[in-house]
Amino acid sequence: MDMKTQTRSTDPLPADGEPVAATRWKRERKRYTDWCTLGFCILGGLLVGITVLALANITMAELADPAHLIKIATSSTVIESILLTFGAGASAVLLLIVFGTPLAYILARSRPSRFKGVVESIIDIPLILPHTVAGLLVYLLFMRRGWLGAPLSDIGLAFEDALPGTIVAMLFVASPFYINSMREGFEKVPVHLENVARTLGAGTFTMFRTVSLPLSLRHMYSGAILAWGRAIGEFAGVIMIAYYPFIISTLIYYSFTTDGIRASRSIAFTVILISFGVFYLLRRMTRHLGRYDDRV
């Protein structure tokens, strides 16, 4: 007797077609609960819940008066401010890529030493400082009488209440995000690959360009996105040196103190929508970039 026949004889099919034994087994099976995973989900869920609640709160308030939202969102002041903020953030990230990538590589490939530890701590300073302190540091250095501000203003590059001031403040606060991400990426590239490239005839820069950098692209993307996000969200650091031109966080603050909560809320909601859309798109676009099968 084959298995099919046997199954048929012992598990008669009820009207709905499922064997009786199977339904009994489903009914009687014991369900084990993983309390640890469940606990983690609840704790994490609470954290996400606060953000969701805050977003729901502002969304409900804004959707109650769509005409006002559209009026604010399409005003030239808001559009210009958003473009300025995103542009300044992108400029800061570009500068970080140019100056931060070599630094991250050197840090990744140098042996641990006291000097290296000091350099790493200096890089992390913007992470641990209150943003106002970061802003003050930038201001003192780049103001018209500052060590760097004075000679640069002599050649026509002013930072106080000017776009370069905004960019340099963003660069300062965003730098650890990019540099640390890039360094981690370079550290993950096996030194053997670089050694092989060198012996095959690649000079140091060719080896970096053809092996180390392509294999760290994902870290470059994620570091750049993080740094850009940090840069466009900066407020305290920027207003110290460049209250004008208004970046979006300054505009929201200005609107809050002069026009009240309703106007500032609409600007904030607009920024939330645009930022969410842009970051989602960026993540989608870079999802497959720099991925490789590293089972070698």
Partner 1 sequence: MIEFDRVSLALGSFRLEEISLTIGRGDYYFIVGPSGAGKTVLLETIAGLHRPESGRVLLRDEEITTLPPEKRRVALVYQDYSLFPNMRVIDNVSYGLRVQGMRKKEARDEVVPLLERFGIAHLADRYPGTLSGGEQQRVSLARAIAVKPDILLLDEPLSALDPITQERFIGDLRRLHREDGLTIVQVSHSRREAHLLATRMAVIIDGYLVDEGKAGVVLNTPRSRDVATFVGIENILDGTVTANEDGHATVDAGGRTFEAMTDAAPGEEVSLCIRADDIILAVDGDRHSSARNTMAGTVVSVVENGPVAEVKVDAGVVLTAVLTRRSVRDLLLVAGTAVTLSIKATAIHVIRASS
Contact residues toward partner 1 (CB under 8 A) are 111, 190, 192-193, 195-204, 206-207, 210-211, 214-215, 292-296
Task: Name the token pair of 144.
Answer: 């018209």
CB of 96 to partner 1, least distance (A): 23
- Which positions ≥6 away from 194 have C-beta within 8 Å? 207, 211, 212
Selection from 264, 207, 234 nearest residue 92 by Cα: 234
Choice between 211 and 240, CB closer to partner 1 = 211
- CB closer to partner 1, 10 vs 195: 195
Residue 105 CB, nearest distance to partner 1 (Å)?
A: 17
Question: What single-letter amino acid sits at 106?
Answer: I
Paired tokens of 50: 């606060």
CA angle 159, 175, 281 (to 5 degrees): 100
Min dist CB 189 to partner 1, Å, is: 10
Of the candidates 244, 242, 248, the one whose C-alpha atom is nearest the C-alpha of residue 274 is 248
CB of 291 to partner 1, least distance (A): 9
C-beta of 188: minimal distance to partner 1 in Å?
Answer: 11
Structure token digits, residue 245: 């031109």
Contact 110, 116 (CB under 8 A): yes
Q: Which is nearer to partner 1, 71 or 291 (CB)?
A: 291
For partner 1, the closer CB: 113 or 258: 113
Given the complex with partner 1, which of 37 and 199 has the nearer CB atom? 199
